[in-house]
Amino acid sequence: MPWFKIDDNLGFHHKVIAAGNPAMGLWVRAGSICAQQLTDGFVPDHMVNALGTKAQAAKLIETGLWDAAEGGYRFHGWAERQPSKADVEAERAAAANRMREFRAKKKGTTQNASPQVEAPRAEDVQPNERRTNGEVREMFGNPDPTQPIPSRPDPIEVRSTTAVAVVAPKRDDVERICEHMATLVAANGSTRPTITKAWRTQARLMLDDDKRTEADVHTAIEWCQADGFWRGVVMSLPKLRKQYDAMRLQAQRPAAGARSKQQETDDLFAKAAQRMGVTTTMGAIE
């Protein structure tokens, strides 16, 4: 489609300043539609009602940017500054004709082309049928922003590749930790949680990055699910890893009374380790 051309001196032209920004907004929007619809600068009344106001249109007439016309308005000097409908349609027809001639010539040249060498071409050697010739350079060089860009005669094929996902093998220690956590959460009366990729990732990070032993993690699971407060806070492996140190400090805090909280925790750890069939030298989570 053609462009609606605006001179670079428009911003401070005396007519534009006199018309004001609201009226110039109508002027620009109406101009782009006239260029698109090839109206040769004619702006019908219904277009003005959709894009601005009658008062703004009157201001454009007063400043000499528009002229009054039957059924609407007309841009002043449109033919001097903008391409006419006849010119645009003629150029479109000429461009279409040039493209047809180019394709016909290219097709005939390809069919009638004689070999440049007498010896037969090897199977892995392909002819260069995409060389740039004079017609192509003439067609695509020096683009005019007022003209549509012609379609490429030979679009380049784009081949997509499919990425192959790499799935890490399951680890027995990670699976045991996840199953232990899900089982105890369900035992406390909650819906058994689903063991997700995030669960397995956090379990692996506790073992590999945080350097926790499997026995320590199992003990932490037993402790938090037996505690009246922490069982409602820690109900997943990501939350267990996040709160691990906070629970460790809580478990190490002695309580007042005949039997300290630490002693109760030590007994709980020992029972949990015995049930899981693992050994640990911890009295509390370290």
On whether the CB atoms of residues 27 and 65 are closer than 8 A, the answer is yes
Q: Name the phi and psi angles at 69, rounded to 5.
A: -145, 160
Q: Is the pLDDT of residue 269 over 80?
A: no
| CA angle, 48 then 52 then 58, to 5° | 75
Give the model's confidence band at 3: pLDDT under 50 very low, under 70 low, under 90 confident, else very high.
Answer: confident
- CA 69 to CA 48: how far, in whole Å? 13
Predicted local distance difference test score (pLDDT) of residue 283: 44
Predicted local distance difference test score (pLDDT) of residue 128: 58
Give the model's confidence band at 173: pLDDT under 50 very low, under 70 low, under 90 confident, else very high.
Answer: very high
Decide which of 260 and 23 is more confident.
23
pTM of model > 0.75: no
CA 90 from centroid of its chain's CA atoms = 41
Q: Is the pLDDT of residue 150 over 70?
A: no
Q: What region does 160 belong to: left with phi over 0, alpha with psi -120 to 50, or beta?
A: beta
State whether residue 34 is helix, strand or coil.
helix
36-45, 63-72, 130-139: lowest mean pLDDT where?
Answer: 130-139
Burial 239-260 (b: 16+ CB within 10 A, else e): ebbebbeebbebbeeeeeeeee
